[in-house]
Amino acid sequence: MSEHGFNSRGLSAVVTAVVSWGVLIVISRVLVAGYGLNPWVLSFIQMAVGGAAMIVAAGPGRFPLKAMRHPHTWVYGSLRVLTAATLTAALAYATSAEISVLSALFIPIGILLAWGLFGRRPGPADALGSLVVLAGIAGVAAGLPGGLLGTAATLMVISAGATALGTAIAEMHPENRGDDRKTRLRLTGAAMLATAVLMLAAAMAASHLDPDGLVAAHVPLEAAADPRVWIAGVLVGVLVRGPSTYFTFRAIRLVGSENYLMGVALMPALNLSGEFLAASFGLLPAPALSGATLAAGALGIAGAVAIATLRWRARAAQAA
């Protein structure tokens, strides 16, 4: 077994990253659904300001030009934009709960990428757990318009593939192979700034090529003039999104990309709990989930937990 894997330090890093992302998603959902802030403008501000904050947090030193020059940084940023675009588009055909279940497709994809890119051969438990995850995904996809070959399922295949590949790129990044905190902070800032630049470029290009299209409708110019979106974007970007991205790079470095994605599979449960909590304070409507979606989501999470548990036991047995 490689140096990557679940141990107490790695597990703590994954939990920290996943919980921080769960908090970010619930806060962002409150700001978008509860207060009507534009999601694209909000995300751009979070990325740009959060990235700058990570560079400042690294302290005196050279601006992260080295990280900005690496192709990995821009490939990672491009994949982040692709993930966000396809996931947002899929929400037109499925609920957020259904999308959360479909997102778990990144687990089997991540396992295959770890095998192909890093030589971490999957075991029988990985195959069995992946089949359980796929069964949960298929159960939800079959009930969507078009079924397994419908638009929502196709968009989520692209989104999950981009998520898994982006996570693998984060593991491969030369600036994420060590444990120096300042280097990782600068890498985090560079990656977030690159993503923000690519988000802005993609939105401007799409709006120019199709001024009456979907992107122009979702990113109206007046949305950027809303002072609330700037205040919220700056605060959330500095306090939550920047640290969440840093924790993600650290967790991927410690446990490997596919193991990190197994932790992310628990996100739907965290998001659901957070939305119920927000609903109790009147910030969001209470989530409405069908029994089929809950069952499929539970099945997908069970598959991810089973793979992670068996990997943990295998590592412990090897260390004994």
Tens of pLDDT, residue by residue over 148-182, are: 999 999 999 999 999 999 999 999 999 999 889 99
Residue 56 clears pLDDT 60, i.e. is over it:
yes
Tens of pLDDT, residue by residue over 178-224, are: 889 999 999 999 999 999 999 988 888 877 776 666 666 666 677 88
Tens of pLDDT, residue by residue over 5-50, are: 567 788 899 999 999 999 999 999 899 888 989 888 999 999 999 9
pTM for the model: 0.90
Choose among 102, 117, 77: nearest CA to 245.
77
Q: What's the rounded Cα separation, in Å, for the pair 98 and 150? A: 14
- From 14-18, 72-76, 86-90, 197-201, the region with the lowest mean pLDDT: 86-90
What percent of the chain is modeled with pLDDT above 90?
52
Q: Are 44 and 197 in contact (CB under 8 A)?
A: no
Mean pLDDT for the stretch of residues 89-109: 86
CB burial string 115-127: b at 16+ within 10 A, e below: eeebebebeebbe
Quickly list H helices, 173-286.
181-209, 214-218, 227-236, 242-255, 257-264, 267-280
Number of H-type helices and E-type strands within the chain: 15, 0
Q: Are 252 and 76 in contact (CB under 8 A)?
A: no
Q: What is the pLDDT of residue 85?
A: 86
Q: What is the pLDDT of residue 2?
A: 44
DSSP track, 49-79: HHHHHHHHHT-SS--SHHHHHSHHHHHHHHH
- DSSP-derived letter for residue 142 is T
Give, in order, the Cα–Cα distances in Å from 251 to each of 195, 235, 259, 311.
20, 24, 9, 16
Residue 145 clears pLDDT 70, i.e. is over it:
yes
Residues 6+ apart with CB under 8 A from 108: 130, 133, 134
Mean pLDDT for the stretch of residues 123-130: 90
Q: Binning pLDDT at 50, 70 and 90, where does residue 1 land?
A: very low
Read off the amino acid at residue 7.
N
